[in-house]
Amino acid sequence: MANRINLRPTSPLVSGLLLFGIFLSILIIYNISSVKNENPSRSPFRAIRNGLQDILNADPDDGKKEGATESKIQQQDHCILNRKFMPKGSMPLILLLSFPGSGNTWVRYLLERSSGIYTGSVFNDVGTGNDDNAIFRASEVCSKTTLVVKAHSLNVKKCHIDGAIILVRNPYSAILAEFNRQSSDKTSNAPISAFKSEAWKNFAIEASSNWSRKIGTQLEKIPNRMILYYENLVQDTNFELHRMLEFLKVTPDENRIRCLFENVTGSFKRKHRKRDFNPYSSEMNDTIDSEILKLRKIMKEYGYILPPYESYMTLK
């Protein structure tokens, strides 16, 4: 009897063990929540529901007019929106990765104006020039002088990638935006007749499998990453912008951000355009929804919850 361990809760050994257990659980829960939920204070579902109308009304060819931000750089009298390159080799190479048509150019603009540091691109975006009056400045992709480098894939020359912001938009809107960009001239949408063609159907089906595959690969290849859902960015631009700046280790300059916001919403909203037809057949919906499910499962393995993108175009 004497050497039997006393298991009454009052025993100091048991209390000690209990306390230690509670301490461990807290540690574990804390770690899981910081890994699994990048964004614990907001539910993507709520954001999607609230932002749905806006998003559905948003210009479907977002990203098409790379120069669409032109009007936004007008400098306000009291606002200093100057930008600079950082010394060569001083910045990590962080990609701003997305499937085409996902709002990449807009994010590039937000980051550049809020931080005062130029961004780069693997593309020669419309509006790119060699002086401060240009919308975007040309730079060498591997020079490590910019805050981020816009890209649509990981095939970025032969330079070491240090991390990425992976921007994800629902494939219905992204595919439509990209099709419009590819099949129209600079300013207009693809003609309605184009959506009756086999070409559109084939494009959408191929693009949707690219969408899930590419984002899946990016998750796998880039451990230092931040996932940004386009729909959340539309819903709460300020919050998501701060989250990006934190990821990029940039101290937010609230004055710059305020100046940016004086025009950012207005200009963005001006791009909204209603589209009164749904170009997706139920067969296409099914294919795209299955790609969404595929990516949903992959993302779950990495601890992310994909917003409710299924049948996105039918939620109207």
- Collapsing DSSP to helix, strand or coil, 28 comes out as helix
| Adjacent-strand bridge partners of 284 | none
Least separation, in Å, of the C-beta of 306 and ligand NAG? 18
Residue nearest to ligand NAG (CB): 74
Cβ proximity to ligand NAG, 4 vs 316, nearer residue: 316
Cβ proximity to ligand NAG, 161 vs 226, nearer residue: 161
**290 touching ligand NAG, by CB under 6 A:** no
Count CB atoms within 10 A of the CB of residue 130.
9
- 165, 107 contact by CB (below 8 A): yes
**314 touching ligand NAG, by CB under 6 A:** yes
Q: How far apart are CA 101 and CA 73, in angstroms?
A: 22
State the amino acid at position 85 in one-letter form. F
Q: How far apart are CA 248 and CA 242, in angstroms?
A: 10
Which helix (DSSP H) or strand (DSSP E) does residue 151 occupy?
strand 149-151
CA distances, 316 to each of 156, 196, 269, 306 (Å) = 38, 21, 19, 19
- 219, 298 contact by CB (below 8 A): yes
Footprint on residues 202-221 left by ligand NAG (CB under 6 A)? 203, 206-207, 210
Q: Where are the beta strands (DSSP E) in the chain?
A: 94-98, 120-121, 128-129, 136-137, 149-151, 163-168, 225-229
**74 touching ligand NAG, by CB under 6 A:** yes
Cβ proximity to ligand NAG, 52 vs 313, nearer residue: 313
Size of interface with ligand NAG, in residues (CB under 6 A): 18
Least separation, in Å, of the C-beta of 289 and ligand NAG? 7
- Among 198, 206, 207, 195, which residue's Cα sits nearest to residue 277? 195
- Among 160, 159, 163, which residue's Cα sits nearest to residue 148? 163
Least separation, in Å, of the C-beta of 30 and ligand NAG? 40
Least separation, in Å, of the C-beta of 182 and ligand NAG? 8
Least separation, in Å, of the C-beta of 264 and ligand NAG? 9
Least separation, in Å, of the C-beta of 271 and ligand NAG? 13
Cβ proximity to ligand NAG, 286 vs 301, nearer residue: 286
Least separation, in Å, of the C-beta of 282 and ligand NAG? 4
Cβ proximity to ligand NAG, 11 vs 290, nearer residue: 290
DSSP summary character for residue 156: -
Cβ proximity to ligand NAG, 143 vs 309, nearer residue: 309
**With 0-12 CB in 10 A as exposed, 13-18 as middle and 19+ as buried, what is 37?**
middle
Least separation, in Å, of the C-beta of 130 and ligand NAG? 22
Q: How far apart are CA 118 and CA 85, in angstroms?
A: 6
Here the tokens at position 48 are 């999607």
**102 touching ligand NAG, by CB under 6 A:** no
Footprint on residues 235-274 left by ligand NAG (CB under 6 A)? 262-263, 266
Least separation, in Å, of the C-beta of 262 and ligand NAG? 5
How many C-alpha atoms does 126 have within 13 Å on its Cβ side?
Answer: 12
**162 touching ligand NAG, by CB under 6 A:** no
Which listed residue (43, 128, 238, 278) binds ligand NAG by CB under 6 A?
A: 278
Positions touching ligand NAG (CB under 6 A) are 71, 74, 76, 203, 206-207, 210, 262-263, 266, 278, 280, 282, 285-286, 311, 313-314
